[in-house]
Structures are given as structure tokens and as C-alpha cells.
Amino acid sequence: MRYLINRKAIMAIAAAGVMLIAWIFSFEGCSKASPQKIQGEEYAQLTYAPNVPPPITRDYPTKVIVNLEAVQVTGRLADGVSYNFWTFGGRVPGKFIRVRVGDEVEFHLHNSPTSTMAHSIDLHAVIGPGGGAISSQTLPGHTSVFSFKATSAGLYVYHCATQPVPLHIANGMYGLILVEPKEGLPPVDHEYYIMQSEFYTKGNYGDPGLQEFSMEKALSEQPTYVVFNGSVGALMDNNAITAKVGETVRLYVGNIGPNLISSFHVIGEIFDKVWQYGGENVTQQNVQTVLIPAGGAAIVQFKVKAPGTYLLVDHSIFRAFNKGATGMLKVTGEPDKEIFSGKQKDEIYLGSNLDKELESDSAASPGTSEPSANPNDINAIVEMGKNVFSTTCFACHQPNGEGVPGVFPPLAGSNFLNQDKERAIGIVLHGRTGPISVNGKNFNNTMPPQSLSDAQIAAVLTYAYHSFGNSGKVVTQQEVNKIRNQNNGKGK
């Protein structure tokens, strides 16, 4: 009897041991898999362009709650130009969203009670019907909630996908979502958010007042404006992004279109690394210009080595200088003359023998030599100035002197030009950057210094003063030479 009891006890102990071992192995397996399990939850920190939320430091996935509101607002498209924007978060582009691979994203899309129509969201980072659009069709005054797993690292576009989809996109409903890889991205000194987009207005570029959407222009893919971060000048002057010499800059660049491809370029920089199409891996190094399709994105990174102002442009260049696709990166710090010397000389060039052989007569070609006109013959000086203007100035200020609205100021009837002759000389000599007001309209752009002789500057300014309804002032070579030699002769 005692044997039977002991045997039963031993068998019970053995069975318990087997169960314990199985439990231990089960626990060990769970422990190994636990980093892949969702731990806790947090609310996403969202930012307006050009700012980016801070890098994710946790090494495990979590539940991330995103709250984003669709709201319709009237705002600035350009100086003196307003537009009825449809937005995610009250601005264009929508807020930047940052999560990590493996995160469970619980998305709350709110549609403002003041909206006039339903809205939704299609996130290109989502695997599921409509990228979330099917589950997020939201009436005014309502909230839709859906969840998705962030499965693939990369930089992705999001946009409204309520019919008519092109109209919702064209009016401003788009942004970027970054899904970081598990190991995160390499640290950098600065990260910025840039989104290119197009606006199709019934009025022409710069026409003042509230502008309406033009379906005709949209269908013909002829935008009135092509801009960075929602408006002309959104990244210019005081709104420029910044860095210091020696720092590394990473740009998260999206292009919503809705029609055009972007040729993104930073004038004076080379991209050290490029994540083409916003994918997980670096695909190219030492790249000059990055092609970004409509509905696509790219990540570019570079180290700044010289101080100064760098222009960000769509290198389909008329879009930059005539439609608004221009921004600025302002870099401060000490120059390295070995990297970039700056201007070392400014010399007169009289042309080569080949130039002389190609000339149809013995007259000097405009812009390369001193005029042969009598300095006391005002008609000859004006004619000389007209030739210089037609080869140097007309592209920006236009042949009729009316400039390009919102981009290049007019010379025609210009109060700015007529007020101060010395200032005008200084600007032609030394260039000028920053905001000015001409005839009651604001402009904010860069005019580079012109490589012209004193006689040529005197002639072209005299031509401008004697044309386009201006004051008729005369500028002499002596006046130009005086300003050139002054230490403080830069235009103000």
C-alpha cells in the first residue's frame, strides 16, 4: 500500500515537473518575442512644417494614438492673395506624423463642424482598403477611428480620398508620415519638413484678393502656383530653415502634385545621401537633383560647409522663379576659403578675338565693353542702356518693365526706383536680398550683383529712368564709380 502511495506521489511529482518545464520554455519563448509585442500607448507628437517631431528613442513597438482634424480655412497663398484651403490641422501641408515599425497606430480623424463636406484620409503607409480612406469617410462634426500596423519603414504621403479626390488634394489636404526603422535613423543636427504642391486659381499669378479654384487649369495641368509648404514665400527670408557650418541637415521632402513631378534641388549643395522615393535604404550618394513623383517622397541629407543663403528650388526652373517654388536655407559660421573662396576679382572683359570676328560691325557688344557713345549725348546713353537691359534685365523685370507679380518688382512707374538714385546704383552693383515694397505691393526675392562696368550701369539705369513712365533722371559713370568705391555702398 505504501508502495502504491509512493508510486502515485512520484508520478504526480513527475507530471508536475513536466508541466513546469513546459511552462518555463513557454515563458522563455514569450520573453524572446516580447519586444515585438505592443507595450503601452502614447499620443503622437505632430508638428507643422517645416518642423519635424523628435526622433523615436524607444526600442519597442507601442500603440500610438494620432488625432488629426480636417478643417477648412481661408489663408494666404501669396502676398495680397488668399485662398479657401481644405486642410489637415488648419495649415498646408498637414501635420508631420512620426511612428516606428511595428507600432499599432490608432487613428482618430475629426471633421470640424464648420466643414462643408465629408473628408477622409489615405495614408500611403497603410496596407488596407484605400490606405484607410474606406474606414475614415467622416461627415462634418463627426470622428472616425481605425487602426493599422506600421509594417514598412519609409517616408510616405497622406492625403484626403473623398470624392472628388483631385479637388480635395488640390485644395490642400495632404502631408507626410515617417515610419522609422526599428533601429531608428542616424542622428543629424537638423531635420526639416518640405512639401511641394500646386494651386490652380482662376486669376493669374499674383492677382490680388480671394482666388477661386480653376478646374480648367487643373485638367490641363497648368498650375498658377507651384509652392513649398503651402504658399509663396513660406520658406523665404524670416521663414527660412537654418543651420550652422559643419552641421548635418536632413530634409523630408514630399510632392503631392497633384499633377507635376518635382526636380528638387538645393542651389550650392550636393546631397551626401539620398533615400530615393522615401524608401528604407540609402540608394544614392553625391546627388545634385532628386526626382520626386506626384504622390511620392524622398529623404535627402547633406553637411553644410560654407556660410550663406542657399536656395531650395524645383529645378523645372520657371516654377521656382515664376510660380513660387523657392525656399531658403540660411547657414551661419566661419567661411572655409578652401571649400569656397567667394568672389576674388571683378575685372573688365573686352571679348575674345572670336567675339570680334563674329561681330557684324565694329560696335562693342553690350555687357562686355565700354560704350562708344558720347557721355554728353543722352540719346546715345539711353540707347546703350536699352541694349544692356535687353540682354541682362528683361528676363526678370520683363521687356515692358512690369516685372513678375509677387516675384520680381516692376520698374515701370516704380516709387522704389525713383525715390533713391544712389540706392538703385548700389543694388545693381552689389545685389539685394529680402523684402521690399514697390507701388504698395510686397516682394521678397534675391537680385544678384551684376557684372557690368560703370558705364554700363550708368547707361542701363538712365534707360530705366527714361522709360516706363519714370522720372527721367540721369545716372553718370562718376556716380556709379563713387558708390562702387564706398565700403558701405551696398543697396539698402
Output the pLDDT for position 358. Answer: 58
Pairing of strands 174-180, 209-211: unpaired
Element (H, E) at 219: helix 215-219
Output the pLDDT for position 432. Answer: 85
Q: Is the pLDDT of residue 17 over 50?
A: no
Average pLDDT over residues 442-455: 83
Using DSSP, state whether 148 is helix, strand or coil: strand
Confidence of residue 90 (pLDDT cuts 50, 70, 90): very high
Domains 41-180 and 354-491 share a fold: no
- The CATH topology of domain 41-180 is Immunoglobulin-like (2.60.40)
CB 289 within 8 A of CB 312: no
Output the pLDDT for position 160. Answer: 98
Pick the CATH number of 354-491 from 3.40.50.150, 1.10.1050.10, 3.40.50.1860, 1.10.760.10: 1.10.760.10
Chain-wide mean pLDDT for the chain?
Answer: 87
pTM reported for the whole predicted model:
0.71
Reduced 3-state DSSP string for 318-348 = HHHHHCCCEEEEEEECCCCCCCCCCCCCCCC
- Cα separation of 180 and 236, whole Å? 29
- The one-character DSSP state at 375 is T
Element (H, E) at 272: strand 271-275
- ∠ CA 314-231-306, nearest 5°, is 50
- Cα separation of 418 and 471, whole Å? 6
- Cα separation of 150 and 43, whole Å? 15
Q: Is the pLDDT of residue 168 over 60?
A: yes
Confidence of residue 5 (pLDDT cuts 50, 70, 90): very low
> Can you give the residue ranges of every domain in the chain?
41-180, 190-332, 354-491
Tell me phi and psi for residue 181, to 5 degrees: -65, 165
- The one-character DSSP state at 119 is B
Average pLDDT over residues 1-7: 40
Average pLDDT over residues 155-174: 98
CB 193 within 8 A of CB 154: no
Output the pLDDT for position 355. Answer: 57
Is the domain spanning 190-332 CATH 3.40.50.10320? The answer is: no
